[in-house]
Copies of this chain bind each other. A is one copy, B any other.
């Protein structure tokens, strides 16, 4: 079991066929995940392709995560919570400046993704919209969105199967709004 400490991140390789289990150990925490083809990092996770092919804004068990080249990157095998977000970009320094008028330094998923992915030669500008595990973004019929505390309880998890060799970036979210004002770790496990 690997631990991503609060307001930090990790990046690692996942082989085709391996499973990734992402766990919310304390409940009400979010984990942003980005994916790249390990053999050609220009191929990466795409919210636009996934929402199109899965015909849903809400992605959960039995859905696939698709790439910008229209290939399956992961399949979701289990999702004990059932609510994830694929609308919003990872929180970044500008998120806190623009949305929260916070001018001070603030850790962010964006920084925690690109600093961890740097070892694979991935640059900040290459970070796409993440699949935000456990994130609870509500929307109404007019499209108005609100970021609410996650519905996940301690021990909830999502299990993904890699459909190609992948580079994975994963965080324990740094944004107050995403986790009800508390900062918590995320656990993950790679299963063969």
- Decide: B92 and A70 in contact? CB cutoff 8 A: yes
Cα-based distance from A89 to B45 in the complex (angstroms): 12
- Decide: A94 and B68 in contact? CB cutoff 8 A: no
Is A53 close to B, CB under 8 A?
A: yes
- Decide: B52 and A70 in contact? CB cutoff 8 A: no
List the B side residues contacting A125 at CB < 8 Å.
Answer: 42-43, 68-69
- Decide: B95 and A56 in contact? CB cutoff 8 A: no
**For window 19-66 of chain A, which residues contact chain B by CB distance below 8 Å?**
42-43, 46-49, 51-53, 55-58
List the B side residues contacting A51 at CB < 8 Å.
Answer: 87-88, 145
Question: Given A92-B70, A95-B70, A129-B48, A143 and B53 touching (CB < 8 A)?
Answer: no
Output the nearest chain B residue to A68 by Cβ-Cβ distance: B125
**For window 92-150 of chain A, which residues contact chain B by CB distance below 8 Å?**
92, 94-95, 98-99, 123, 125, 127-130, 139, 141-146
Q: How many chain copies does the complex carry?
A: 2
List the B side residues contacting A52 at CB < 8 Å.
Answer: 87-89, 95, 99
- Decide: B70 and A129 in contact? CB cutoff 8 A: no
List the B side residues contacting A69 at CB < 8 Å.
Answer: 94, 125
Output the nearest chain B residue to A146 by Cβ-Cβ distance: B55
Output the nearest chain B residue to A87 by Cβ-Cβ distance: B51
Pull 11 A–B residue pairs with CB atoms less than 8 Å apart, ordered by A: A46-B89, A48-B129, A51-B88, A51-B145, A55-B146, A56-B143, A57-B57, A57-B145, A69-B94, A129-B129, A141-B141
Q: Given contacts A48-B90, A55-B146, A58-B142, could you give 12 more A-B pairs where the C-beta distance is less than 8 Å?
A: A48-B88, A48-B89, A48-B129, A48-B130, A51-B87, A52-B89, A52-B95, A56-B142, A68-B125, A68-B127, A70-B95, A87-B87
